[in-house]
Structure 1
Amino acid sequence: MRAYDFAPLYRATVGFDRVADLMDRVLTSEVNTTYPPYNIEKTNDDAYRISVAVAGFSEADLSVEQRENALIVAAKKADEGEDKTYLHRGIATRAFEKRFHLADHVRVTGASHADGMLHIDLVREVPEALKPRTIAISKGSEPKAIEA
């Protein structure tokens, strides 16, 4: 795999270090797990849904946690105590931990488990202070001097 050097990006920009760190993390991640399969869909302009296939896991086996800008979905099957003999085992119920990096101001609004799918709803809420605002332009008078 190619290694990319983001040092010129750090030298030429201010405040974009998180973007460079994210790109560096994505490009250098050697472990690209596909288990469990998941979908990410945009349900509205500022709303999203992550759906994770969790066949074989009950609600008690699953955990969903948001820490700062990370969403962590984990599952661990409780020991059943029985030794079963499988002729074919195609349903994976191994423990997993899946991490999703969330943008600023994205928060989890809820999670539901139905029909072997875990659905996690997210919404982006931009604070009023960061939203664009219109500045009124006054007519007429001369500029006022600012006192020192």
Structure 2
Amino acid sequence: MSLAVLAVCRICRRRIVPEGEPLYPGVVRHGGRGLCGLHARLSDPEVERIELARLYRREPSRWMKRAACAPAHVDPEIFHPFDHDVETHERARRVCKRCPVRSECLEDALETKDAFGIRGGMTAPQRARLAKQRKGDTP
């Protein structure tokens, strides 16, 4: 009997196994996109909203309270645009550019493998490339 665990669901954090593998206590079927069978039925925007809500529910670190994006007058939606609107990305980057905790934000995004939005002045693909470069630089 194989006890291969593919991953954990990005939403419910239950262990998931690939199709064809036997189920055992505490695991569920893989539904695709890093989600269990139940949550795979959600659309990508719904999954993203749930993940963002989880991210913002966590206890803010001290540096988060000093962030340029923390005040209520800054629209948080500019950091998580659903389209590739260049103007929106530039507005977010301008806020990040003047942020006193930009490096802490970027490091947190890299550490938590945040795959959405603009953090530390970088988009998710830019952060992924940076993480890959750093991984290649380490012995």
Higher RCO (CA-CA < 8 Å; seq separation 6+)? 1
- Please indicate, yes or no, whether the TM-score normalized by the shorter chain is above 0.5: no
Larger Rg: 1
